[in-house]
Amino acid sequence: MTNCSPLIQVITREQAERLLYPPETGLFLVRESTNYPGDYTLCVSCDGKVEHYRIIYHNGKLTIDEEEYFENLMQLVEHYTKDADGLCTRLIKPKLMEGTVAAQDEFSRSGWALNRKELKLIQAIGKGEFGDVMVGDYRGTKVAVKCIKNDATAQAFIAEASVMTQLRHNNLVQLLGVIVEERGSLYIVTEYMAKGSLVDYLRSRGRTVLGGDCLLKFSLDVCEAMEYLEANNFVHRDLAARNVLVSDDNIAKVSDFGLTKEASSIQDTAKLPVKWTSPEALREKRFSTKSDVWSYGILLWEIYSFGRVPYPRIPLKEVVPRVEKGYKMDAPDGCPPVVYDLMKQCWTLDPVVRPSFRMLREKLQHIRAKELYL
């Protein structure tokens, strides 16, 4: 397991300066800020010394000088590769961490390295914060490819690929392999999920197309994947209908392992999705299988409301205070009372009292058996 932030290299100021030695003007890397954990620092070699620029979060955007604002780290880095714009020099070349080369060797040794020449990229199907998601062809098989551009964030995604090599279950999106190019570009190749994200699938079909049996099947698919993660001591941390994909034969599979960590090594550096995150994870950064159970309750609500955004009509800033006082969302229209009861159990404020995924799976199977029998 690669212990590495889901976004960025965690190293000290001194380590950054050692990595950028010998000096080469325009050589740079991005690290987590020592003084402001969760924020970034851009470290740039220039005229024989290293300059450190704090990257500030402001209203959800990133800035160095509070004049130019960027949606994400990629945009910021790309901007300063074209123009110094106030920095000591423009950014010329990312310093690739030793981990990139080590990971390439490790993926080759463990049989996960794919041949770039046999991968054809066909078209973009999505844009992530750090690169494109493409449909591709690998040896005649249709695949999805997460393309991480050549920049200082690429090696951080090796953590995601590393997690995925350890996990195999029919309801998890399956990793097929990884390509790490010498110049630092990274391709994470997974099975192709033809029907896209569960949230879009629910919204586009609606209740006229999807019956109760279908909703229950999706709920069970996700629960079985999460029971597997629970049994293997992994915590997902970003479980939501947007991070579940639907295959051509209507199987729901949990995806987006960028934040998945072994339960023992969790630290928070991410900007958390408030409506899906448990109170203790928001308040004390305490992530566990039980915080995933809370998120699963929200996901159940998304499934049975056909993809509505949780906590409708409640302003975002009021969600946490109300939830901490015991507020629970009403059942979606047409949701069976037994399923709504499971949602409420997931939203118990005390994480110890919440059911395990194993218990949830057993209850859902029991509900499904009764429905099929009827």
> Which residue, of 191, 209, 236, is where some domain finishes?
191
Instruction: Calculate the average pLDDT of the chain.
Output: 84
Query: Is pLDDT larger for residue 237 or for residue 98?
Result: 237
Q: 225: burial class by Cβ within 10 Å (0-12, 13-18, 19+)? A: buried
Q: Single out the residue in 156, 191, 226 at which a domain terminates.
A: 191
- The reply to whether 214 and 360 lie within a common domain is yes
* Residue 240 shares a structural domain with residue 319: yes
Q: Is the pLDDT of residue 137 over 50?
A: yes
What is the pLDDT, as a whole number, of residue 2?
A: 28
Higher confidence at residue 12 or residue 36?
A: 12
Establish if 281 belongs to a structural domain: yes
Residue 128 has pLDDT above 70, yes or no: no
**CB of 74 closer than 8 Å to CB of 151:** yes
pLDDT at 38 (0 to 100): 63
What's the confidence (pLDDT) of residue 1?
26
Binding residues: 146
Average pLDDT of 296-308? 97
CATH number, position 74: 3.30.505.10
Residue 2 domain-assigned (yes or no): no
**Same domain as 249, residue 173:** no
Range in 2-16, 27-41, 137-151, 204-218 the model is least confident about: 2-16
Is the domain of 366 the same as that of 286?
yes
Query: Looking at the structure, do residues 187 and 201 belong to the same domain, yes or no?
Result: no
54 and 203 in a single domain? The answer is no
Q: Kindly indicate the confidence band of residue 4, based on its pLDDT and cuts at 50, 70 and 90.
A: very low
Least confident of 5-14, 90-99, 105-114, 297-306: 5-14
What's the pLDDT at 37?
66
pLDDT in tens, 50-70: 999 998 877 778 899 989 898
Structurally, how many domains does the chain consist of? 3
Share of the chain above pLDDT 90, in %: 51
- Residue 291's CATH number: 1.10.510.10
What's residue 182's pLDDT? Answer: 65
| 250 & 337 share domain | yes
Over residues 213-217, the mean pLDDT reads: 95
Distances from the Cα of 356 to the Cα of 291, 294, 296, angstroms: 11, 10, 11
User: What mean pLDDT comes out for the span 336-364?
Assistant: 97
Q: Is the dihedral of CA 318, 277, 341, 355 positive or negative?
A: negative
**Quick one: pLDDT at residue 372?**
65
On the question of pLDDT at 3 being above 60, the answer is: no
Same-domain check for residues 210 and 356:
yes
Of the candidates 238, 256, 268, 292, the residue annotated as catalytic is 238
Query: Any bridge partners for residue 61, and if so which?
Result: 58
- Phi, then psi, of 310 in degrees rounded to 5: -60, 160
pLDDT given at position 73: 73
Domain assignment present for 316: yes
Question: What per-residue confidence (pLDDT) applies to 373?
Answer: 57
Mean pLDDT of 107-120: 86
Band of residue 197 on the pLDDT scale cut at 50, 70, 90 = very high
Closest CA relative to residue 246, chosen from 216, 202, 213: 202
Residue 183: per-residue pLDDT = 63
Last residue of a domain, one of 131, 156, 191: 191
- Same domain flag for 87 and 152: no
User: Which residues contribute to the annotated binding site for ATP?
Assistant: 146
Q: Is residue 3 part of a domain?
A: no
Is 203 in the same domain as 272?
Answer: yes
Is 1 among the domain residues?
no
Instruction: Quickly state the pLDDT bin for 12 (edges 50, 70, 90).
Output: confident
CA proximity to 5, closest of 43, 29, 40, 52 = 40
- The confidence score (pLDDT) of residue 71 equals 76
CA nearest neighbour of 291 among 228, 331, 239: 239
Under 8 Å between Cβ of 29 and 152 = yes
Model confidence at 284, pLDDT cuts 50, 70, 90, reads confident
| Same domain, residue pair 260 and 361 | yes
Residue 201 has pLDDT above 80, yes or no: yes
Q: Residue 184: pLDDT band by 50, 70, 90 thresholds?
A: low
**Confidence at residue 344, expressed as pLDDT on a 0 to 100 scale:** 98
pLDDT exceeds cutoff 90 at 261: no
Nearest one of 343, 304, 177, 191 to 254, comparing CA atoms: 191
Domain that holds residue 105: 98-191
Q: Return the CATH number at 185.
A: 3.30.200.20
Residue 160, pLDDT score: 67
What per-residue confidence (pLDDT) applies to 5?
27
Q: Are residues 298 and 365 in the same domain?
A: yes
Active site residue 238: yes
